[in-house]
Structure 1
Amino acid sequence: MTSTPPSTVAANLPTGVLVGGRWRPARSGATFEVEDPATTRPIAEVADGAEADARDALDAAVAASEPWRRTAPRVRADLLRAVFDTITARADDIAALVTAEGGKPLAESRAEVAYAAEYVRWYGEQAVRVEGLARRAPAGTHHQLVLRRPVGPALLIAPWNFPIAMIARKVAPALAAGCTCVVKPAQLTPLTTIYVAELIRAELEARDLPVGVLNVVPSSSARRISEPLLADPRLRKLSFTGSTEVGAALLAAAAPSVLRTSMELGGNAPFLVFADADLDAAVEGALQAKMRNAGQTCVAANRFLVHASVADEFAVRLTVAFDRLVVGHGADEGVTVGPLIERGAVDRVAEVVQQAADGGATVRTGGSAPAREGYFYRPTVLTGVAPDARVVTEETFGPVAPVVTFGDEDEALRLANGTPFGLVAYAYTRDVGRAMRLAEELEAGMVGINRGMVSDASAPFGGVKMSGLGREGGEAGLDEYLETVYVAL
């Protein structure tokens, strides 16, 4: 299939707020620019929504809530299946848009579109499988029914780094469960969300379904959208993906209304390599776990904890692999590493790398930004890194792999768990017994054993400790949008 140039796709997009099935300008008339991070040039202007637009969107979601709740599960399932088919048919155009506003290489963008489509298909299939319970009470005095029903209108706040996958992971289960939505797309990457929202809006309209089911309010300030909605008692659900700091503030704002919340927050993923590991497989897994989207993923390996006996060999092989990566504009052929999302991201990566080097770490490759337009940073391998260096203790969100050595399994676990975060952990070992111990002892919501990628639409995604609450994906992701009601009769 021949894709449409991203500039053409962007030019043909609606750029307003979507309220009650109609795209319109923000009430203030304000807009903000969306730029290509590989060139720093603007590619579109989008409505800059504010409090009045957020309230309009919630009004529409509330008005559609009851008719959508009563819509047959099969109808909701068929809608999602049709959206899956359309996303799949337009995958090349959507991938080009993902690359244009987010920077990632086209191959990664295509993979993200396929991943997002799987969430839509999965939850379309799950919409007709919401189960309850009917039984006689143990005392024999009555019968017990357990019913599941939609939570109600939901506010979905998405991150910039996976602009279609994260929207699909939130919107699809919400619609499948019978909830209506107000979506706040990321300021840096709103165009893909707008594109998909228009696909859903068109399907709702074509099927004569409530068009206020999905509402979208782009804004340069998430707070201008979240604050009025979280204070409104009609909102019953909040789903957020982003930093722990912002997530904690949103939880505090949601507390007075006792909202149902799903929080997928920051990570600091350890990548453990034991002495018995297949080093070729470990390096391949490291590239997957570290370098997707130039390291700008919440599940990116942030700390490479390697047994001292194989640390030098692993570092040599990883450096060779990093040197083969091609940095450039994501739309260019052969590019495997795109830009970071903005100038501040480059500056932060450069700062933590320099601090590590000043602390005695060795830069094996990379360690600087190339002299070119755009927000680029070279893939970097560091060895001799102190366990308390910022590049180890903080989520870097960039293409940097710091290698720290350990002596035995106990020390590896102590280092891996020595963080307030616990989203995902990776480990490479041939010892099945050790693999089982790691699965039980690693403090993370997800564990990849001899795998550099764990995400799957049919599996629960989420963390422990300060990495979040609740789960997205799998059956658990649908549960986040359903209430449990017990009936005694």
Structure 2
Amino acid sequence: MEAVNPATGERIDTYEEADLPDVERALDDGWGAFQDWRDRPLAEREELIESAGEVLRENKREYAELMTEEMGKPVTQAVAEVEKCAWACDHYAQNAHAYLEDEHYPSPAGTEVKTVYEPLGIVLAVMPWNFPFWQVFRFIAPYITAGNVGVLKHASNVPGCAEAIEEILRDAGYPEGVFQSLLVPSDLVDDVVADDRVRAATLTGSGPAGRAVASAAGDKLKKTVLELGGSDPFVVLDDADLEAAAETGAWARNQNGGQSCIAAKRFIVHSDVYDEYTDRLVDEFESLTIGDPFDEDTDVGPQARQDLLDDLDDQVQASVDAGANVVTGGEPMDRDGAYYPPTVLTDVPAGCPADTEELFGPVATLYEVEDADAAVRKANETEFGLGASVWTEDRDRGERIARRIDAGCVYVNQLTKSDPRVPFGGVKESGYGRELSEIGMKEFVNRKTVWIE
């Protein structure tokens, strides 16, 4: 497994892939660790996740630079990602007891009836490269604190991040085997899922990857949570604050190089403000600083891999050939590294890649609609249903529109984001199940009814 710096194309390091004997040893260790970990008092597990947050904060620059080197995230955004991971650790350190408290029910005199929440065992996490720390810690913080143990199959281009996360938990004081990173190739994932010691799986990634894991798990009747792709609408109504909507919209599309499932991708704009909003949004796109991700002033770094840039450019060029208009950007930059500029497409024809596929990079598509009803129809005109954003000065109107959009989360006058305090997940082709908050923590527990006569 090779880690390559996408800003330079230079190899950083080479890592040895795990094989089936390595997997067997890891699952043995994990299952053995679970027998003790499940019985640890919750207070001790809360203290350990709090310690993990402290380790993250103490070394945040080191971890941020590792992310930047392996997948090109601007270092200031990488620091913010580490801080967000620490926040998730704090959240579950402070709230796990309340989330997992026994729930009592009415019962006959002299009896006690309640639901208790118990861990399942080993949970496999298949995680992507775009937020290489956050995606993993939003798994670790709730599910490991609930008493499960974790095995991570991280993306192959961020092996250093995978090993660093395991080291963080070790430094925080976690017992051996409670969390392990396995540098396995994708073709071994089915074997891991099928193992009897693995009781559940969660995946953040592409639709095909999600289907493969769900199919393998379903064959063994194992619980899964999937967070897949998105083509999130960013709806700008006629009474929106256009300055705020343009500034936030540019960031919502371009942060992390546009490589986010919940990035704003389809900008659906009321005809009364379409021209003005388009001008404002393009100005915001063109004001972003593209450059060395280690430069503190950089807003947009390289794409995470050259092949990802090539795929994105193919989608854009096919859309232009079909009739889409490039307002700004539109082709790879003439410089070393996998750089693609912030791009705006208008007049996007129905059925072209920019209209029907997820563009996983800094490319926005703009659509003009005549009214709010048309905006809702266009927002829902996708196979995806992860997030959405609605912009209007009328909060009640915003809520009414939000309730009509088919998505797992809708933000009014705010960009779509994940937050440890609220549930996160999608519908339709964007997956199922929820992460974070109380609901997320209870995805991988046995909700056991206990009747005491």
* Pair in the same fold by TM > 0.5: yes
Uncovered stretches (5+) of structure 1, i.e. residues with no partner:
1-31
* Distance in 1 between residues matched to 2:263 and 2:236, nearest whole Å: 16
Provide runs of 4+ in structure 1 moved above 6 Å: none
Q: 2:264 is matched with which residue?
A: 301
Return 423-432 or 382-391, whichever deviates more.
382-391
Q: 2:402 is matched with which residue?
A: 439
Q: Deviations over 1:326-380 (max 9, x none)?
A: 2122002421101111122111221222222222222111111111111111111
Q: TM-score, with normalisation over the residues of structure 1?
A: 0.89
Q: Does 1:147 align with 2:116?
A: yes
Identical pairs, percent = 36
Q: Deviations over 1:309-333 (max 9, x none)?
A: 2111111111111111121220024
Q: Does 1:218 align with 2:183?
A: yes
* Distance in 1 between residues matched to 2:320 and 2:106, nearest whole Å: 68
Match of 1:90 among 50, 59, 74: 59
Q: 1:134 is matched with which residue?
A: 104
Q: 2:251 is matched with which residue?
A: 288
Q: Does 1:411 align with 2:374?
A: yes
- Cα 1:135–1:415 shift into 2, 3 Å: closer
SS in 1 for 2:37: helix
Q: Is the 8 A contact 1:288 1:453 kept in 2?
A: no
Return 352-361 or 38-47, whichever deviates more.
352-361
Q: Deviations over 1:137-175 (max 9, x none)?
A: 2x5584312111011111111110001101100112122
Q: Does 1:467 align with 2:425?
A: no
Amino acid at match of 2:432: L
* Distance in 1 between residues matched to 2:6 and 2:401, nearest whole Å: 39
Q: Deviations over 1:162-213 (max 9, x none)?
A: 0110110011212210111111111111212311211212333xxxx63111
Q: Does 1:188 align with 2:157?
A: yes
Match of 1:264 among 197, 211, 227: 227
Q: 2:134 is matched with which residue?
A: 165
Amino acid at match of 1:194: E
* Distance in 2 between residues matched to 1:213 and 1:84, nearest whole Å: 17
* Distance in 2 between residues matched to 1:175 and 1:125, nearest whole Å: 15
Q: 1:104 is matched with which residue?
A: 73
Q: Does 1:236 align with 2:199?
A: yes
* Distance in 2 between residues matched to 1:136 and 1:343, nearest whole Å: 60
Q: TM-score, with normalisation over the residues of structure 2?
A: 0.96
Q: 2:301 is matched with which residue?
A: 338
* Distance in 2 between residues matched to 1:273 and 1:388, nearest whole Å: 23
Q: Is the 8 A contact 2:76 2:296 kept in 1?
A: no
Q: Deviations over 1:279-323 (max 9, x none)?
A: 101111212210111110010111111112211111111111111
* Distance in 2 between residues matched to 1:401 and 1:323, nearest whole Å: 13
Amino acid at match of 1:132: D
Deviation at 1:115, TM superposition (A): 1.0
Amino acid at match of 2:349: A
Q: Is the 8 A contact 1:386 1:404 kept in 2?
A: no
Q: Does 1:364 align with 2:331?
A: no
Q: 2:419 is matched with which residue?
A: 456
* Distance in 1 between residues matched to 2:351 and 2:252, nearest whole Å: 22
- Cα 1:388–1:312 shift into 2, 3 Å: farther
Q: Deviations over 1:102-149 (max 9, x none)?
A: 101111111111111111111222333311123442x55843121110
Q: Is the 8 A contact 1:173 1:481 kept in 2?
A: no
Amino acid at match of 2:317: Q
Amino acid at match of 1:351: D
Q: Is the 8 A contact 1:76 1:127 kept in 2?
A: no
Amino acid at match of 1:443: D
* Distance in 2 between residues matched to 1:480 and 1:190, nearest whole Å: 27
Taking only aligned residues, the RMSD between alpha carbons, in angstroms, comes to 1.5
Amino acid at match of 1:314: Y
Amino acid at match of 2:69: A
Match of 1:174 among 123, 128, 143: 143
Q: Does 1:351 align with 2:314?
A: yes
* Distance in 1 between residues matched to 2:6 and 2:236, nearest whole Å: 34
Q: 1:123 is matched with which residue?
A: 92
SS in 2 for 1:483: strand
Amino acid at match of 2:186: A
Q: Deviations over 1:253-274 (max 9, x none)?
A: 0012211111111111011111
* Distance in 2 between residues matched to 1:273 and 1:284, nearest whole Å: 12
Q: Does 1:392 align with 2:355?
A: yes
* Distance in 2 between residues matched to 1:58 and 1:122, nearest whole Å: 29
Q: Does 1:33 align with 2:18?
A: no
Amino acid at match of 2:334: A
* Distance in 1 between residues matched to 2:239 and 2:93, nearest whole Å: 43
* Distance in 2 between residues matched to 1:110 and 1:474, nearest whole Å: 23
Amino acid at match of 1:156: A
* Distance in 1 between residues matched to 2:351 and 2:400, nearest whole Å: 25
* Distance in 2 between residues matched to 1:388 and 1:110, nearest whole Å: 39
Deviation at 1:47, TM superposition (A): 2.1
Q: Is the 8 A contact 1:163 1:190 kept in 2?
A: no
* Distance in 1 between residues matched to 2:410 and 2:329, nearest whole Å: 29
- Cα 1:316–1:135 shift into 2, 3 Å: closer
SS in 1 for 2:198: coil
Amino acid at match of 1:282: A
Deviation at 1:396, TM superposition (A): 0.4
Uncovered stretches (5+) of structure 2, i.e. residues with no partner:
none
Q: Is the 8 A contact 2:71 2:305 kept in 1?
A: no
